[in-house]
Amino acid sequence: MRILRSRAARAITAALAVGLIATGCASERDKEDSKGEKDTFVFGAPGDPSSLDPALASDGETFRVTRQAFEALLEHESGGSKLVGGLAETWESNDAGTVWTFNLRKGVKFHDGEAFNAAAVCANYDHWFNWKGTYQSSAVSYYWQTIMGGFAKNEDKETPEANYKSCTAKDENTAVIEVKKPSANLPGGFSLQALAIHSPKALKAYEAQEATAKGDAITYPKYSQEAGTVAGTGPYKITKWNKGNKEVTLQRFDDYWGEKAKVKNLVIRTIDTEDGRRQALQAGDIDGYDLVAPADVKTLEGEGFQVPTRGVFNLFYLGMTQEKNPALKKKEVRQAIAHALDRENLVKTQLPEGGKVATQFMPDTVEGYSEGVKTYAYDTAKAKSLLKAAGESGLKIEFCYPTEVTRPYMPAPQDLFELMKADLEKAGITVTPKPMKWAPDYLDATEAGSCALHMLGWTGDFNDGYNFIGTWFAEYDKQWGFRNKALFDAVNAGSKVADEAERTAAYKKANEAIMAYLPGVPISSSPPAIAFAKNVNPPKVSPLTQENFAEISFK
């Protein structure tokens, strides 16, 4: 018995050793095809996607993956924020902005072989419009509700009224989408990944699997968690989601209508720490990654990596909650705070190269940006005199800031806070620091209006002014804690105008009204960086962080 056991053990050990030696280099070889060319691009993402069906999601990590496989009616130009044709070659609306006609691209196929046509477009829009039960929760259908309002039959009083009316396939290649009222979210909304077009065959399969709210949470339907069912028209098809290994694998779709992807396989892997992603790139384990810390940009460039910065499409601001501290109700106090901050210095010392001081609540690349807003230059003496005039010379104020977080618009929040605190104290304001964990503590606190001063920001979804100012000032919001109907009206004035020039003019006026009232201090817009290995020809980087990985190739 004893001999047998040891013989077996010896045999296994020998087999193991031979096997391991023989195949030791296989992992490296697998990345290359028979001609010795690299055929797999590996990208390091900061977080896991939540679903393979973008319609159920509202987060950038999901869209980063699905964007390579699904296309919407409209897209943004590569590397820019201008709307261009996507699955629709051209589009137009009636004067009222309620009837949208899309002339669809011909010869487009879905990954499952189905043909793309007007009926497929309508199948998608009707699918979303007829969502029931759990799908009506804003946690699932956030973007549909933002763009199109509610559903065919709203099940809850709080769900917004439906703005979507109908979709008609006028002929094979013409789809007409009607809405009840004009909206600032159109046509921009037609470009969102959440409204990307799926194969009708896949939609049928989706319908058989409902999202359930059994027990204590929303369970996403199975099809959205495993590759196999979902099918779009994009340059890549999703072939595998290995959750244990935190990676989504995509393969080039050879029947793609446009220019085919240059690299055969695309793998998006989650590496959740900033250092982890940087080191994986330096070690050659990945070919690119996103959310580069501004502090790492110089180092990486010095080592020969490519670190292109995107166009500016975000806004970082100092928020004030008037209901939390009554002094903030006084306009002079808000103005004093604005004058007290040396924003030039913040941008120069804390933000990545290319960062700009913001004069209003949108970056200058967005339609509706106004040159005529009231500005508040750095002037400590003026801040002091304003405070004195307001009778708030000894003002004490609580200032919340987040810890352990980096946002594209806000690298190193603690350093930003320290500088702002010093500026405010120079003007005679006593600052009580209140550090909080980003999620959920800080987000909850700012949302609930329990921070007198705080810092936050936003990256736009599409190029429309309302996507910025409407996010903050369309109505009463606890974060700001004020009611000013004139201001809300000014912000909303543009949102229901169909004519683009008229809308832009309305946004300009709104920006001027906001900066005259000064609900908070816009601080900066900065370009987030993305990194690539030396041997990569990177895609055009997008201000909306919508890179198309099909453009990538190896040198």
Distance in Å, CB of 443 to other proteins, minimum: 6
Neighbour-count burial for 340-377, b at 16+ CB within 10 Å, e otherwise: bbbbeebbeebbbeebbbbbbbbbebbbbbbeebeebe
Distance in Å, CB of 66 to other proteins, minimum: 16
Altogether, the residues listed in the chain come to a count of 555
> What stretch of H or E contains 553?
strand 553-554
Q: What are phi and psi of 410, to 5 degrees?
A: -145, 75
Q: Where are the beta strands (DSSP E) in 234-351?
A: 236-242, 247-252, 265-270, 288-290, 314-320
DSSP string of 36-96, one letter each residue: S-B-EEEEEESS--S-SSGGG--SHHHHHHHTTT---SEEEPTTS--EEESSEEEEEE-TT
Residue 461 structure tokens: 């979804």
Q: Report how far residue 459's alpha carbon sits from residue 508's, in angstroms, rounded to the nearest whole number.
A: 19
> What stretch of H or E contains 356?
strand 356-357
Residue whose CB is less far from other proteins, 40 or 103: 40
How distant, in Å, are the alpha carbons of 91, 307, 310, 543, 544 from that of 79?
21, 15, 8, 7, 9
Residue whose CB is less far from other proteins, 95 or 216: 216
Distance in Å, CB of 246 to other proteins, minimum: 5
102 Cβ neighbours under 8 A, 6+ residues apart: 73, 87, 88, 90, 91, 118, 121, 174, 175, 176, 177, 190
Residue whose CB is less far from other proteins, 210 or 418: 210
Assess contact for 243 and 49: CB atoms under 8 A.
no
Q: Report how far residue 74's alpha carbon sits from residue 93's, in angstroms, rounded to the nearest whole number.
A: 14
Q: What are phi and psi of 232, to 5 degrees?
A: -120, -155
Q: Report how far residue 240's alpha carbon sits from residue 489's, in angstroms, rounded to the nearest whole number.
A: 48
Distance in Å, CB of 242 to other proteins, minimum: 8
Assess contact for 553 and 262: CB atoms under 8 A.
yes
Distance in Å, CB of 461 to other proteins, minimum: 15
Distance in Å, CB of 48 to other proteins, minimum: 8
Distance in Å, CB of 474 to other proteins, minimum: 15
Distance in Å, CB of 541 to other proteins, minimum: 23
Residue whose CB is less far from other proteins, 35 or 214: 214
Distance in Å, CB of 268 to other proteins, minimum: 10
Contact set with other proteins (CB under 8 A): 16, 19-20, 22-24, 26-27, 30-31, 40, 42, 48, 50-51, 137-139, 142, 156-158, 211, 213-220, 225, 243-247, 249, 265, 267, 269-273, 275-276, 279-280, 282-285, 437, 439-440, 443-444, 447
Distance in Å, CB of 85 to other proteins, minimum: 31
Q: Report how far residue 492's alpha carbon sits from residue 255's, in angstroms, rounded to the nearest whole number.
A: 44
**Roughly what angle, to the nearest 10 degrees, separates helices 294-302 and 274-282?**
10
Q: Report how far residue 370's alpha carbon sits from residue 468's, in angstroms, rounded to the nearest whole number.
A: 14
- Longest CA–CA span in the chain (Å) reads 97
Residue whose CB is less far from other proteins, 16 or 152: 16
Residue whose CB is less far from other proteins, 368 or 402: 402
Residue whose CB is less far from other proteins, 1 or 20: 20
Residue whose CB is less far from other proteins, 243 or 426: 243
Amino acid letter at 25? C
Distance in Å, CB of 261 to other proteins, minimum: 17
Residue whose CB is less far from other proteins, 385 or 553: 553
Q: Report how far residue 368's alpha carbon sits from residue 284's, in angstroms, rounded to the nearest whole number.
A: 43
Residue whose CB is less far from other proteins, 30 or 502: 30
Residue whose CB is less far from other proteins, 15 or 377: 15
